[in-house]
Each structure stands twice: as C-alpha cells, then as structure tokens.
Amino acid sequence: MSDATHGPDNLTGITPDTGLKIGKSDKDGPMLAADGTPLKTSLNRALRRQKRRALMLIAPLLLFILLTFIYPIGEMLFRSVENQIVGDTLPRTVRVLADWNPDETEVPGPAVFSALAKDMTVASEEKNHTRLGSRLNYEVSGISSLFRKTGRNVDDIGENYTEQFVALDPAWEDPQTFVDIFAGPRWVEANAAYDGEGRRPTFRLAEGVGEVLPQTASIYRDFARVVQVEDDDNPAEEEPWNSVYLALYEDLRDGAAIPADFPHAALLTAAQAAVPNFATTNLQAAFVDMDKDWTDREVWRTIQTYSAPYTTGYFLNAADLQLTPDGIAWRPENERVYITLFVRTLIMSTAITVACILLGYPIGWLLANLPSRQANLLMILVLLPFWTSLLVRTSAWKVLLQDQGVINDLLVWIGFVSDGNRLALINNATGTIIAMTHILLPFMILPLYSVMKTIPPSYLRAAKSLGATNWTAFWRVYFPQSVPGIGAGSILVFILAIGYYITPEIVGGTKGVFISNRIAYHISTSLNWGLAAALGAILLVIVMAFYWAYDRIVGIDNVKLGG
C-alpha cells in the first residue's frame, strides 16, 4: 500500500532516476547526470574506463602472445621475401652491375671488377662472403665455393698499387697520413682521448673528403669500421687495405680536383702527377686467376637478378619454378619436388583424417554408452599413448611394419601371404598412414566422446518406438547430433597431420614424407631459411583456405567439443 505522501513515486532525496533530472529539463537542454555533466558524456567516459580496465586485464596475455608467437612467426615468414644480403654485402658491385647488359658482353667491364675487389675485401674481413655464397648457391650450384676461394685471396688485389704509392713517398705507408686526410677532427680528438674503456669512438669522415676522393673515402670508411668493430683496433695504427690504395689510384687517375687547403694536398698532387706512369693491374684477370668461374656469365646474371632487397625467388622455388635473368621458368624436371610433396601431404592428411573418423567413431560411441566404470577404464587406454614418447611410438611401428617385422611374420604364419611376398608396409605412404593414424586417433576420439556424451539415449528409444529401424534411428537421429564432434576431431587431426614431420621421416622413406619434412630439412640442414619460410607460408595459406571452405560448407559454429 502507498499513499500520496509516502508512495514509491514520492520518495524524498535523490534517487538514480531523479538524479538524472537535476538541472535542466529535456526542453531546456541535454539530460544531465547526477554530477551535472551531460548524460552522453558521462556514459562515454564510463565505457572508456571499462574498456581500459578490460584491456589492462588482457594486456599481459596479448604481450606474451605477441612476443612469443606472432613476432617469431612474422619474422620467419618475412624471410620468404627478404633478400638484402646481396645488396648489403656487394653494394658497390650491385650499383655498377645494374648498367651491365648481359646480351652485349659475356662478362661485365673493369668498373664492376674494381667494385667487386673493394666489396669482397670488406666481406672477407667481416666473414660475410661465405653467407653470400651460400645464398646465391641456392640459385646456381658452385657459387658458394667461388666466393670462399675468392675471399681467401682478395686481399692481394691492389698490392701493386700499394707498393707504387709507398715507393713514390714513404708517407703513404704511414697510417697517420690517411687519418689526416680522411678522419673528421671530432673523431680524431675522441680517438686520442680513448682510454680503452667502453666502446671506441665511431669513425667519422672529414667533411668534404667524399667529394674530392669519393671511392677512397668510401672504402677507407669501411676499413676503419671493420678495424674498430671486427678487430677492436685503432684505425690510426693500422695500415690500410690494398683496396684502399686501389681506390686512391682510381680517384687520382680520374682527375680528382685537390684543393690547395686540402690535408696533404702536396702529397696528393705529386701522386696524381705520377699515377699515369703506374703499372696497372688487370682486375678481371686477377679474379679469373682465383677462379675461372668469374668468366661465367650465369654467375654475373645471378648476382644481378638477385641484387634487389626483396625477391619472389623463394616462393617460385617452392612452386617448382625459378627466377632467371630471362624471367620465370620451370625448374629442371628432376628438381620438381615441392608440388608433388604438397599434393601428397594433402592427400595423405585427408586419408589419415578419414581413417581416424572410421576408427574413432565406434570407440567414441562405446565410451559414451558404456557404464562409467568400464568407460573410465577404456578412456585410460585411449589416453595411454599420450604418456609414451612420440619417438618411441614411431620407432615401435618401424619394428612392427618392416619386412621381417611382427605384422608380416603373423600374416605369413596364418597363411595370408607367402614368405616370398611379404607386404611392403614400411618406407612408403602405407607406413606413414598407419603410424600417424595410431598417433592421432586420440585427437579424434576425445571430441567425439565429449559430443556423444551429451546426446540423450532416450532420443534413439523414442525413434525406435515410432517405428524406426536401428539404422534409421542412428542415421537420422543420432548421427546428425554427432557431426559437430566429427568436425572438431577432423580439424584437429587434419591440421596436426599436415604439419607432422617426425613420423613420416622415420617410417615414410622417400614416398611417405610430407612437405613439413622438407621445411625441417631446410631449417636445420641446408639452412635455406628463405625457402623454408616460403614453403611454410604456402602451407599456412592452404590450411587457411581449407578452414575457410569448411566454415562456408559446414560452419565453424557447428564445431563443438561437448556441452
């Protein structure tokens, strides 16, 4: 009961409802909250606070996933297009080689070999020439040994010019001469004050020296950097490389304009007057003496083709194609393996998934319909393989499936096959399917069991009471309700199967391995991470395509793990 004074509509004080009305009425302006701010602004502020609190709660998990999952995968996939090693290791060569037309000359001109001499000197000191050779060796066999052999002897190139500069004036043998010419005054001061603690001051070129002696300044800067970083020495105390004298000769030969106030201007002017009489070195012949493959046009075309910082070459190789100087072409027929492996992986993964459905469905039904005591005992047997090492289980199948193994001996004993016609169950697709079906079967049984457990047995009894046969009751009543379990189990088994490589490697031989085996090979053995990343990216796209197709046909919302 309520009256006009004490009813619920006549409460004294401010309530949540009346608080919203304090201030102005709807006619006079926007509705206000209890604190006098507009209601819309107050609600938006509250929503922002809620979102910030929710974000802070999940931020540690997001950060963990980003650092341990997303970033490593992204970094690995980036390797499938990254190709900066050629341009970073041979910057001068790549720049000059861009103007070379392989249709006009068999090999590039002297300027390219001069740039190569300087780049290879730096690369051999930094030990990068072997990495570059390994990268290009993926495209043309033999380049790796070419770069290794050249790296061992490239420091001798330009020695002829070193001797002539020193013979012209002994000052050219003094490292301080080059410091006076090329080093910036701030670096000279900081280097002189360096006491051996911490990092040595980073070398800086003097202002304007790159305009007067561009090639020498560039290679001397690399020399100083390598001496500091790689050798932890003082550039002011180390005699420059022979390639520095080669660059100095070329700058003076090309008519460098030496200002009167330039450091050691008289020394440089005297050297410039003498260089026309220097005995020159045929750089191309010097490289050919190291390895005759430097006259191979395909080597130079490969360097030119793969000089860009990014490449499609890895993805083309993953599809049995190759990027050549003439465009995209098929790889030699005896090297086309990846499309075959992709097709084999998909077919065998599908076969394994189907085998797991056929074997796992009856077991799931049995688990769901047995009394709890027997069902728990059977569940222990299903989970037992998880307590055994994957390697042990796979090795056990190798023993069982071999020609003289247990299975073949049993078949011979019962007379199913003759001793001379034992079944080939190992080192082929059959062995892979058998072993992986056994390993992945629990991943099918568990989703099926969890879904089947939620299907009331009364549904089947009701169908039978209405006249349905056992088959009709199963097919039209029970099976449709178990489809979500089949979907969940199939996704688990298929995705796990498509990425397996240990089991196929042990029992698959040459005809039962998956594409994942090649990915593992390129990561751990050949160290061709770019190709491994490209193969992995293609495999990821294929899996996502199947996932999308499954969602469109069946619907991912229909996948359940029970409940």
pLDDT tens digits, 128-168: 999 999 999 988 888 999 999 999 999 999 999 999 999 99
Two structure tokens written together for 235: 């550039």
Residues 199 and 220 in one domain: yes
Compute the distance between CA of residue 269 and CA of residue 272 in angstroms, rounded to an integer: 5
Helix axis angle for 283-290 and 143-153, nearest 10°, is 120
Ramachandran region, residue 233 (left: φ > 0; alpha: ψ -120 to 50; beta: rest): beta
Question: Is the CB of residue 384 less than 8 Å from the CB of residue 378?
Answer: no
- CB 264, CB 177: distance < 8 Å: yes
- pLDDT per residue as tens digits for the range 278-318: 999 999 999 999 999 999 999 999 999 999 999 999 999 99
Residue pair 204/187 in contact (Cβ under 8 Å)? The answer is: yes
Q: Are residues 123 and 173 in the same domain?
A: no
Query: What's residue 269's pLDDT?
Result: 94
Task: Record the tokens describing residue 453, joined without a space.
Answer: 């457990």
In a domain, 38, yes or no: no
The answer to the question of residue 513 being in a domain is: yes
Mean pLDDT of 477-484: 90
Query: Do 150 and 162 belong to one domain?
Result: no
The answer to whether residues 368 and 453 touch, using CB atoms and an 8 Å cutoff, is: yes
Print the domain residue range for 97.
88-155+283-305
Indicate whether 247 and 357 sit together in one domain: no
262 and 350 belong to one structural domain: no
Whether residues 177 and 219 share a domain: the answer is yes
Q: How many residues are given for the chain?
A: 563
Q: 165 Cβ partners below 8 Å, 6+ apart? A: 172, 245, 248, 249, 271
Is residue 403 located within the same domain as residue 376? Answer: yes
Q: What is the pLDDT of residues 381-427, one digit of tens each?
A: 888 888 888 888 898 998 899 888 888 888 899 988 888 888 888 88
Residue 444: pLDDT band by 50, 70, 90 thresholds?
very high
Q: What is the pLDDT of residue 418?
A: 86
- 293, 267: one domain: no
Residue type, 55: L
If asked whether residues 351 and 236 sit together in one domain, one would say no
Q: What is the pLDDT of residue 560?
A: 58
pLDDT of residue 561: 55
301, 273: one domain: no
Sign, CA torsion 548/550/555/556: negative
Query: For position 467, which CATH number holds?
Result: 1.10.3720.10
Give yes or no for a contact between 33 and 42, defined as CB atoms under 8 angstroms apart: yes
State the Cα–Cα distance between residues 361 and 367, nearest whole angstrom: 10
When pLDDT is cut at 50, 70 and 90, the band that residue 367 belongs to is: very high
What pLDDT was estimated at residue 24?
Answer: 46
In the predicted structure, residue 116 carries a pLDDT above the cut 80? yes
Q: 87: which DSSP letter? A: H
Q: Which residues contact 360 (CB under 8 A, 6 or more apart)?
A: 441, 444, 445, 448, 489
Integer angstrom CA distances of residue 203 from 61, 65, 229, 251, 255: 44, 40, 10, 22, 27
Using CA atoms, how far apart are residues 521 and 217, in angstroms rounded to an integer? 44
Q: 288-302, 346-360, 389-403, 548-562: which range is least confident on average?
A: 548-562
Phi, psi of 322 (to 5 degrees): -150, 150
The answer as to whether 329 is a domain residue is no
**Residues in Cβ contact with 497 at an 8 Å cutoff, skipping those fewer than 6 apart:** 348, 349, 352, 353, 436, 440
Assigned token pair, 290: 């190291």
The tokens 């409802």 sit on which residue?
A: 17
pLDDT for the residue numbered 124 = 94
In sequence order, the β-bridge partners of residue 32 are: 38
pLDDT higher than 70, residue 196:
yes
Position 490 in a domain = yes
Is 167 contained in some domain? yes
Task: State how far Cα 109 lies from the chain centre.
Answer: 37
Q: What is the DSSP letter of 8?
A: G
Task: Supply the mean pLDDT for the chain.
Answer: 88
* Burial environment of residue 386 by CB neighbours within 10 A (0 to 12, 13 to 18, 19 or more): exposed
Partner residues linked to 82 by β-bridges: 310
477 and 468 Cβ atoms separated by less than 8 Å: yes
Instruction: Let me know whether 300 and 407 are in one domain.
Output: no
- pLDDT confidence bin for 5, thresholds 50/70/90: very low
The pLDDT value recorded for residue 559 is 61
| Pairwise CA distance, residues 362 & 406, whole Å | 26
* 314 in any annotated domain: no
Indicate if 151 and 165 belong to the same structural domain: no
The terminus-to-terminus CA distance of the chain in angstroms comes to: 47
Tell me whether residue 387 is in a domain: yes
**pLDDT for the residue 170:** 93
Q: Is residue 58 part of a domain?
A: no
Residues 92-112: tens digit of each pLDDT: 999 999 999 888 888 999 999
How much is the pLDDT for 28?
A: 56
CA 405 to chain centre: 41
Q: Full-prediction pTM beyond 0.85? A: no
Q: How many structural domains compose the chain?
A: 3
